[in-house]
A and B are shown apart, each in its own frame.
Chain A
Amino acid sequence: GAGVSQSPRYKVAKRGQDVALRCDPISGHVSLFWYQQALGQGPEFLTYFQNEAQLDKSGLPSDRFFAERPEGSVSTLKIQRTQQEDSAVYLCASSTSSSYNEQFFGPGTRLTVL
Chain B
Amino acid sequence: AQSVAQPEDQVNVAEGNPLTVKCTYSVSGNPYLFWYVQYPNRGLQFLLKYITGDNLVKGSYGFEAEFNKSQTSFHLKKPSALVSDSALYFCAGRDPYTNAGKSTFGDGTTLTVKP
Contact = CB atoms under 8 A, between A and B. Distances in A.
Given A42-B105, A99-B94, A4 B34 contact: no
Contacts of A82: none
B44 interface: yes
A93 B103 CA distance: 11
Contacts of A45: 102-104
Interface residues of B, number: 27
Interface string B73-102: 000000000000000001010101001111
Contacts of B34: 102
Interface residues of A, number: 28
Contacts, number: 63
A44 B105 contact: yes
A4 B42 CA distance: 12
B103 A4 contact: no
A65 interface: no
Given A43-B90, A105-B44, A105-B45, 8 more contacts: A3-B43, A33-B101, A43-B105, A48-B102, A99-B32, A99-B94, A100-B51, A103-B44
15 contacts: A41-B107, A42-B90, A42-B108, A43-B44, A43-B105, A45-B104, A56-B99, A91-B44, A99-B96, A100-B96, A102-B34, A103-B46, A104-B46, A105-B36, A106-B43
